[in-house]
Amino acid sequence: NAGVTQTPKFQVLKTGQSMTLQCAQDMNHEYMSWYRQDPGMGLRLIHYSVGAGITDQGEVPNGYNVSRSTTEDFPLRLLSAAPSQTSVYFCASRGPTGGNTGELFFGEGSRLTVL
């Protein structure tokens, strides 16, 4: 059981480049989300999805784009990378049973550096 899988684990970009962070889960979870973690700032929600075809903004959505075409996948796109987007990105999913009260499972993280 792979759980939540994120790729790539490490990435270096130049300012203005675009890229996609991939997230996949094999637990049939309806809810998926993206967080960024920065020193002194804690974990902040970027975007989330409550099911295929449904996405919504979190606390810090600017500069990021998401889509949810399948239950399994929830990619995060950086449209034009900026140094302020240097961070560790985490994808998380939550089970379908219990709706909002499910346990949140995290991937191992993607470490992004924007030069």
Report which residue type is found at 78. Answer: L
The nearest distance, CB 52 to other proteins, in angstroms, is 16
48 binds other proteins (CB under 8 A): yes
Rounded Cα–Cα distance for residues 23 and 30 (Å):
13
25 binds other proteins (CB under 8 A): no
27 binds other proteins (CB under 8 A): no
Q: Which residues touch 76 (CB under 8 Å, ≥6 apart)?
A: 20, 21, 23, 34, 46, 47, 64, 65, 66, 89, 91
In the three-class reduction of DSSP (H, G, I as helix; E, B as strand; rest coil), residue 115 is classed as coil
Residue nearer to other proteins on the CB measure, 68 or 107:
107
Identify the helix (H) or strand (E) that includes residue 44. strand 42-51
* Total chain residues near other proteins (CB under 8 A): 24
Question: Can you tell me which of 12, 16, 56, 79 binds other proteins, judged by CB under 8 A?
Answer: 56
Give me the residues that bind other proteins (CB under 8 A), please: 31, 33, 35, 40-43, 45, 48, 50, 56, 58-59, 90, 92, 100-101, 103-109
